[in-house]
A and B are shown apart, each in its own frame.
Chain A
Amino acid sequence: MSDITVLTAAARERVGKGSAREARRQGKIPAVIYGDKKSPASITLERKLLVRHLESGGFFNTLFDIELDGKLNRVLPRDVQLHPVTDVPEHIDFLRVSSTTRISVEVPVEFKGEDESPGLKTGGVLNVVRYNIEVSCTPDLIPTSLVLNLSGAEIGDSLHISAVSLPEGVTPTITDRDFTIATIAAPTVVKEETAATDDGTDTEASDGDSTSESAGEETEEGNDS
């Protein structure tokens, strides 16, 4: 957190969808800065610059200095609204932070030692349960990433938060349990595809929003043949 990027912003005189759309047409992104017991400020930022930061990763745990009317505001991005189809950012929320405020922030997990994991070497699949972990810390101590070492992990092993060494002053927000970050799932055997005649038998149903499956489990093919 040593070098903090400075973003130059322009204040928005009008708020609402009309002015926000106008800003977007001019290649800018409407945004808001709030928090630290000060009144919120409506601003616009250059889209090109913001997209570059968004695509480089770790946007939500990176501090920025937003220059507004000659003053620097130390901020942390809290929310980005994306267009549902194009995924172009449409609005950004920034939280004003001071060095003493304790904030909860999502930090990405970095997986290391995949070559030294016997489970992954023998064909196991890394099943990531959490790509990000919410931690509580002061703004100066926000880690860029949390490293999870996979060396020595066998098939069937679960890797929990206790396996991650957190920096001093950084605590996970979930403290009541040793939650799972990733598991090493067993490889699944692909059955030889016989003449697949689709008889329309209903073999699968979902209760929730999504249906998931291990790719190798070709049970449907087995039933169809």
Chain B
Amino acid sequence: MLSPKRTKYRKAHKGRIHGNAKGGTQLNFGAYGLKALTPARVTARQIEAARRAITRHIRRAGRVWIRVFPDVPVSSKPAEVRMGKGKGSPEFWVCRVKPGRIMFELDGVPRDLAKQAFTLASAKLPVDTRFIARVGGD
């Protein structure tokens, strides 16, 4: 799964996701992409599940780009522990995805196959998505 190699701080605030994506909203690498339409914290596990769904569906062909990276640590307290006594320990990594963000890109496969692969990937993600194709890329 994706995670930072090293971080400046171990724990981060929860934060809120406001507004639309400012960058990463257009295709940069491949001919097809999966665009997020709603905001969400996408975990490294979900990104990995979506990536596997894509690579297994397209089998031997194509190339996949992951355009999001989970760099926000999420902490949690153990079960049956009273409140207080400080923040819990970091448990997993998430990426704050804003609407408009291209999360995955794909190239080297036919359009239908790309669309099917992204449909499978979308089912693994906590965001609504839309299939994007490069103009004249069919």
Which residues of A are in contact with B by a Cβ distance under 8 Å? 54-55, 57-59, 82-85, 87, 108, 123, 125-128, 131, 185, 187-190, 193, 198, 200, 202-206, 209-216, 218, 220-221
Contacts and interface: CB of A to CB of B under 8 A. Distances in A.
B66 interface: yes
A85 B58 contact: no
B83 interface: no
B60 A210 contact: no
A85 B25 CA distance: 8
Describe A's contact surface by its main secondary structure: loop
A128 B107 contact: yes
Nearest to A196: B52
Contact of A127 (B5, B45, B63, B105): B63
Contact of A84 (B22, B61, B107): B22
Interface residues of B, number: 44
A59 B37 CA distance: 26
Dominant SS among interface residues on chain B: loop
Contact of B2 (A127, A187, A206, A212): A206
A108 B136 contact: yes
Given A57-B136, A206-B66, A215-B61, 5 more contacts: A85-B20, A185-B63, A198-B45, A215-B55, A220-B48
Interface in B42-73: 45, 48, 52, 54-56, 58-67, 69
B62 A84 contact: no
Interface of B: 1-5, 20-22, 24-26, 28-29, 31, 35, 37, 45, 48, 52, 54-56, 58-67, 69, 99-100, 105, 107-109, 132, 134-137
Contacts of B45: 198
Query: Shortest 3 CB-CB distances between A and B: which pairs?
Result: A84-B100, A57-B136, A84-B25
B37 A205 contact: no
Contacts of A87: 132
A218 B108 contact: no
24 contacts: A57-B135, A57-B136, A84-B22, A84-B25, A85-B25, A85-B37, A125-B63, A126-B108, A127-B108, A131-B134, A131-B137, A185-B63, A187-B61, A202-B2, A205-B4, A206-B66, A211-B69, A213-B64, A215-B54, A215-B58, A215-B60, A216-B55, A216-B59, A216-B61
